[in-house]
Amino acid sequence: MFRRLALLASILSLASNAGAQSKMSEWQSLFDGKSLAGWRETPFSGRGSVRVENGTILLGDGKPMTGITWTGSFPRSDYEVRFEAVRLAGNDFFASVTFPVQDSYCTWVTGGWGGDIVGLSSLDGWDASDNETRSYFNFDTGRWYSFRLQVTDQRIMAWIDSQAIINVAIAGRAVGLRPGEIKLSAPFGFASYATRGGLRKIEYRLMRSPRAMRRQECRRGTLRACATSCERSFLRLRVEIVLGDLPLSARMASTPRRGERRDETVRARRR
């Protein structure tokens, strides 16, 4: 019994520690300002040209989409992304970003559906134009905007020029991509839709230090192991409690107490 209580206490302690935040890591640049090193042109059908000019990645207006996809490793949760983007011509999204969310992906649409809708596609099968993350933002052609995105297991948050735009809980929800070629942007990439856009200063960082991330993964693995062990313990306990069809009370009634067993032993020796 004491071993089972200790096991349960360990699980509760691990669960508490798993939620503790550690120091964030440093920002890591994903664009050197000179080339597409680390990136590839997303193979959208009808894509426009992609080039680097004056420290900016230029996405040509495609028919309909043009984009770039990161070819290196990228975190799946507990990370933050920031970048700057500009709409150069056109009336639709110019720098929508597709990003990992645990074992799935999602797209932050920036100025879609006519140019001013911002939101996440998709949540529970609903696009940015139809779910609760939809908002309206007027993007001036030729003006640079700062974007920041934060992703955890529990929540997705986003800002434009320090203005909070998205703050949505995702635990227990279906997070995924809109059907179509946007899946080619995964795991991490940018896209424009019949619009010319520019990108610069693309960076990301872990919301925990690499060491803390490794500890978290170890804790998750330990929690799974503890849960499995605990489940096995409860199964054994159930087998011990139920003897055939007899409940525990019947078993206890039929089992002599320690003092009774000692008295029976003494009487047997006297005989």
Mean pLDDT of the chain: 82
What is the tens place of the pLDDT at every residue in 39-79? Answer: 999 999 999 999 999 999 999 999 999 999 999 999 999 99
More confident residue, 9 or 57: 57
- DSSP letters along the chain, please? -HHHHHHHHHHHHHHHHHT--------EES--SSS-TTEEE---TT---EEEETTEEEE---SSEEEEEE-S---SSSEEEEEEEEEEESSS-SSEEEEEETTEEEEEEEEETTTTEEEEE-BTTB-TTTSTT-EE--PPTT-EEEEEEEE-SSEEEEEETTEEEEEEE-TTS-B-PPSSGGGGG-SSEEEEESSEEEEEEEEEEESS-HHHHHHHHHHHHHHHHHHHHHHHHHHHHHHHH-BTTB-HHHHHHHSPPHHHHHHHHHHHHH-
| Lowest-confidence pick of 84-98, 115-129, 132-146, 212-226 | 212-226
Structure tokens at 12: 């509760």
Distance CA 168, CA 123 (A): 10
Average pLDDT over residues 132-149: 98
User: Taking the model in full, what pTM does it have?
Assistant: 0.72
According to CATH, the topology of domain 24-207 is Jelly Rolls (2.60.120)
Alpha carbon of 187 to those of 5, 17, 63, 97, 124: distances in Å? 43, 29, 22, 10, 19
Residue limits of CATH 2.60.120.560 in the chain: 24-207
Average pLDDT over residues 154-158: 98
Report the pLDDT value the prediction gives residue 193, as an integer from 0 to 100.
98
Report phi then psi at 224, rounded to 5: -60, -40
Q: What is the pLDDT of residue 208?
A: 82
**How wide is the angle at C-alpha 144 spanned by C-alphas 190 and 89, nearest 5°?**
70
Residue tagged 């693309």 (tokens): 202
**pLDDT for residue 252:** 45
Check whether 196 has a pLDDT greater than 70: yes
Tell me the per-residue pLDDT of 83-92, one tens digit each, with 9 for 90 and over.
Answer: 999 999 999 9
| 20 vs 22: CA distance, rounded Å | 7
pLDDT level of residue 116 (50, 70, 90 thresholds): very high
Task: Tell me which residue of 169, 25, 148, 46 sits closest to 97, measured CA to CA.
Answer: 148
Q: What is the reported pLDDT for 267? A: 54
Q: Is the pLDDT of residue 149 over 60?
A: yes
List the end-to-end C-alpha distance of the chain, in Å, as a whole number: 38
Q: Which of 234, 233, 238, 230 is nearest to 9 (CA)?
A: 230
Q: Which pLDDT score is estimated for 24?
A: 75
- How high is the pLDDT of residue 10? 47
Crossing angle between the packed helical segments 2-18 and 210-241, to the nearest 10 degrees: 150
User: For residue 17, what pLDDT is reported?
Assistant: 44
Give per-residue pLDDT as tens, 177-195: 999 999 999 999 999 999 9
Average pLDDT rounded to a whole number, residues 116-140: 98
pLDDT over 70 at 108, yes or no:
yes
pLDDT digits (tens, 9 = 90+) for 198-249: 999 999 999 985 565 556 556 655 545 545 554 655 445 453 434 454 444 4
